[in-house]
A and B are shown apart, each in its own frame.
Chain A
Amino acid sequence: KAGVTQTPRYLIKTRGQQVTLSCSPISGHRSVSWYQQTPGQGLQFLFEYFSETQRNKGNFPGRFSGRQFSNSRSEMNVSTLELGDSALYLCASSFEALNTEAFFGQGTRLTVV
């Protein structure tokens, strides 16, 4: 079966712009989590969605938001981009929760200039 698909793979934006990233989980998976990965901070949890509801949220400012659709696809939005938002954004899907075997996508590499 198809794996977790993230689009786009690469993105360049300027400061102050906003960006939307997309994640299509594995068919049948209802939990989608988002992570930000930077060389200095490592993998940091952003939020998790399950059945269209945000269940958990990490320590990120309100500029970072997300949503999940009825088909379990998820989007993440970052508004008013800052240089420090440059990172690899990873999406993970699992059947029930991240506490079960989770499958990660290849990520979206966002560069803010």
Chain B
Amino acid sequence: DAKTTQPPSMDCAEGRAANLPCNHSTISGNEYVYWYRQIHSQGPQYIIHGLKNNETNEMASLIITEDRKSSTLILPHATLRDTAVYYCIVLKKTSYDKVIFGPGTSLSVIP
């Protein structure tokens, strides 16, 4: 079973920030939080990952709470091309456990 829970769907106005939450209350100390997204009919695309510090790259920012039980992916200026299913997963970086994807959050960016 997936170790994360996400809302099934969200809407966001074009140009506004999209904040996608993820709960991972059973995360252990050596597990990272990874985010992927899947645009319709394409393979999933890596976005960002983090352990406990906030992370930012050219695509998004990842905010992890101090207790690490939840995180938020932020797309600062959502565009129509950001409409996709977003997956939050937790992984031990040093093991080779199979990766379990949950149902994710379907984000719709509205003009």
Q: Do A and B come from one complex?
A: yes
Contact of B43 with A99 in the complex, beta carbons under 8 Å? no
Tell me if B91 is interfacial: C-beta within 8 Å of chain A.
yes
Q: Which residue of A lies closest to B102 (CB)?
A: A42
Q: Which residue of B lies closest to A104 (CB)?
A: B43
Tell me if B103 is interfacial: C-beta within 8 Å of chain A.
yes
A33-B36 Cα distance, complex, nearest whole Å:
15
Task: Given A45-B98, A58-B98, A99-B93, answer yes or no on A4-B32 (Cβ-Cβ < 8 Å).
Answer: no
* Residue from B44, B99, B104 within 8 A of A45 (CB atoms): B99
| Interface-lining segment among A13-21, A48-56, A64-72, A73-81 | A48-56
A97-B44 Cα distance, complex, nearest whole Å:
16
Contact of B100 with A45 in the complex, beta carbons under 8 Å? yes
- Chain B interface mostly: loop
B77-105 at interface with A (beta carbon < 8 Å): 87, 91-104
A58-B1 Cα distance, complex, nearest whole Å:
12
Tell me if A95 is interfacial: C-beta within 8 Å of chain B.
no
A44-B36 Cα distance, complex, nearest whole Å:
15
Contact of A106 with B92 in the complex, beta carbons under 8 Å? no
B92 cross-chain contacts in A, Cβ below 8 A: 99
A107-B40 Cα distance, complex, nearest whole Å:
12
In the complex, how many angstroms separate the beta carbon of A6 from the nearest chain B beta carbon? 8
List A residues at the B interface (Cβ < 8 Å): 4, 33, 35, 42-45, 48, 50, 55-58, 90, 92, 97-107
